[in-house]
Structure formats: structure tokens, C-alpha cells
């Protein structure tokens, strides 16, 4: 399943930045490939940059990696609920509150990358287990309609978005 198969009605306008960050990624294949590309990218960042903030109150690279982990867990949970035909409207989450309540900056970068890998492999196996019917199911999350497959692509696009921010503002 390719990102080009998504309809704009399958995700909110807020998430179009993440979807537009993708080219023609395949949901399953590129969930795995994008993880390896991201890890390789992060491992080439100079050590003194991981705790750097480009402005007062901005997140560090470690904070952002933890944010990617937390967001992927939330997006995957939403996808699981919707794929199981749960009609409950799912609430949003405040990413700033989440980041403020982690200990990302006391952790080593390899520890964060290992956790990201574990979460991604769980995400990957989950999406591999879904039928075509489950992938196109839609539900409500953060007050907007979203499909299961769109949530998978959002995970990749969100990661690409933050990798671009690393390049533009941190390196």
C-alpha cells in the first residue's frame, strides 16, 4: 500500500505536512527502511549536539527522539483501536506536556534509539497483521477523521519532518 493511495479525507489538514513529507513510500516496507535511515542519520550527529537547544524553551534532539517514540506509540494505539472497529472518539495529547514529563535528556542516545527501534518493530508487526479492510477503517482521533493506514504513514512523515528540523536548526 503506497502513500499515493491515501485520500485527503483520511487525515486532518493538520497532518498534511507529514503526509506531504513522503514521496511514494510503501507502508510496510518503508516503516522498516525509514527507521534504519533515521538511526544512521542520528548516529552521525556530533555528540555535543544531542543536548543542544537552538533557542530558549526549544527541545533538544534527545527530547525530539523521545517525542517520536511517544507519538508513534499514540498513533499505533489509535490505529489498533480503529482497526478493531472501536468507534470511540480518541482524545488528542499535548506533546509539550509529554516532553516535559520525560527524562530523555538524562538518557544515552543509544538507549533512546534502541527504544525507538523496539517501538517501530512493534508498529511494523502490527501493521503487517492487518487486512486491507482493517487498513482502510476510519475513526475519530483528536477531533478529526483518520484511517488506520493514514496513521501508519503519519508515523513515517512525522519522523521525516523532525529529521528535516534536525538538519535545519540543530546541525
Q: Which helix (H) or strand (E) holds 145?
A: strand 144-147
Mean residue pLDDT of the chain comes to 97
Which domains, and CATH codes, for the chain?
A: 3-170 (1.20.120.450)
Provide the grid cell at 168.
535545519
Confidence of residue 48 (pLDDT cuts 50, 70, 90): very high
Nearest to 6 by CA among 20, 127, 14: 20
Confidence of residue 25 (pLDDT cuts 50, 70, 90): very high
Determine the average pLDDT of the residues in 37-45.
97
In this predicted structure, what is the pLDDT of residue 149?
98
In this predicted structure, what is the pLDDT of residue 15?
95
Amino acid at each position: 500500500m503506497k502513500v499515493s493511495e491515501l485520500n485527503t479525507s483520511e487525515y486532518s489538514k493538520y497532518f498534511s505536512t507529514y503526509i506531504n513529507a513522503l514521496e511514494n513510500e510503501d507502508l510496510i516496507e518503508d516503516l522498516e527502511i525509514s527507521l534504519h535511515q533515521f538511526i544512521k542519520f542520528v548516529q552521525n550527529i556530533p555528540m555535543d549536539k544531542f543536548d543542544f537547544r537552538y533557542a530558549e524553551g526549544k527541545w533538544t534532539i534527545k527530547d525530539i527522539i523521545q517525542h517520536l517514540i511517544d507519538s508513534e506509540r499514540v498513533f499505533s494505539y489509535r490505529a489498533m483501536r480503529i482497526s478493531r472497529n472501536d468507534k470511540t472518539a480518541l482524545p488528542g495529547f499535548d506533546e509539550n506536556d509529554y516532553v516535559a514529563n520525560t527524562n530523555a535528556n538524562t538518557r544515552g542516545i543509544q538507549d533512546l534509539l534502541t527504544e525507538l527501534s523496539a517501538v517501530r518493530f512493534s508498529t511494523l508487526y502490527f501493521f503487517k497483521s492487518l487486512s486491507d479492510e482493517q487498513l482502510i477503517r476510519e475513526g475519530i482521533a483528536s477531533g478529526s477523521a483518520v484511517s488506520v493506514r493514514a496513521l501508519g504513514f503519519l508515523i513515517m512523515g512525522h519522523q521525516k519532518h523532525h529529521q528535516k528540523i534536525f538538519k535545519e536548526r540543530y546541525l
